[in-house]
Homo-oligomer: A and B are copies of this chain.
């Protein structure tokens, strides 16, 4: 199904004329695999809505190591938060990892339109708030969880999203590894290890979850809220009866 402008989180509160205005501001962009949309450090004048394909957002360290900060899927917008900075520059490089179609929106013009719609401002703020939350979770993962926890967490998320025991990893393992801040070799070893313990079965990029409970346990995620379990002294989550959750 094609992505509809009005179904996009950021645009749902717009009136028809506003939506039409937004449509006229947008420019269609096509990217081939491995093509770069923008590079880290360059001035940011547009933000984007994915229509199809897949894009990775990444940073490169001085010694040449790449860290994938995020993977963008159809229906998602990205780089919109930069609109509100003085002299915005992209903090990541965006590279298509599949042939992709997207819409680009001019920051200035969109910002102008936002001024006419407090509702859209609130949408935007909800969106940014969500992103902040997920980045905090990410920092939590990086600092308080080990590599196995993170891999388990990824697989558990896949299982929840696909609502199936068997699913396909939709990005190359190397990219997923970098997303988790783990080397490809380590990622491979961990998958193997989880196989040995009969928690999952791996066949190429197809994964079957054999023991979902154990996987969730390893991922330190809360079953009900789908969020990270964290230890609060004496605290119990009012929703789940589990230890209090984020």
Contacts and interface: CB of A to CB of B under 8 A. Distances in A.
Interface of A: 39-42, 59-65, 67, 69, 81-85, 89, 91-93, 114-115, 118, 121-122, 124-126, 128-133, 135-140, 142-145, 181, 220, 229-233, 235, 237, 243-246
Contact of A85 (B41, B89, B92, B133): B133
A157 B130 CA distance: 28
Contacts of A40: 230, 232, 244, 246
15 contacts: A40-B232, A60-B230, A62-B230, A62-B231, A67-B143, A67-B144, A81-B125, A83-B125, A84-B129, A85-B129, A91-B136, A118-B121, A125-B125, A132-B132, A139-B139
Identical chains bound together, number: 2
A122 B41 CA distance: 23
Nearest to A66: B144
A81 B230 contact: no
A28 B194 CA distance: 52
Which of A93, A122, A125 is the most central at the interface, judged by chain B CB atoms within 10 Å of its CB? A125
Given A85-B126, A125-B125, A232-B60, A244 B39 contact: yes
Main secondary structure of the interface of A (DSSP, over half): mixed
Smallest CB-CB A-B distances: 9 pairs = A61-B144, A41-B244, A121-B121, A135-B135, A84-B129, A84-B125, A84-B126, A81-B129, A128-B128
A182 to B, nearest CB: 10
Contacts of A237: 41
A90 to B, nearest CB: 9
A246 B89 contact: yes
Nearest to A246: B91
A82 B181 contact: no
B230 A61 contact: yes
Given A39-B235, A132-B131, A143-B142, A229 B126 contact: no
Nearest to A89: B246
A133 to B, nearest CB: 6
B144 A59 contact: yes
A109 to B, nearest CB: 15
A102 to B, nearest CB: 20
Contact of A41 (B114, B126, B232): B232
A232 B39 contact: yes
A228 B124 CA distance: 27
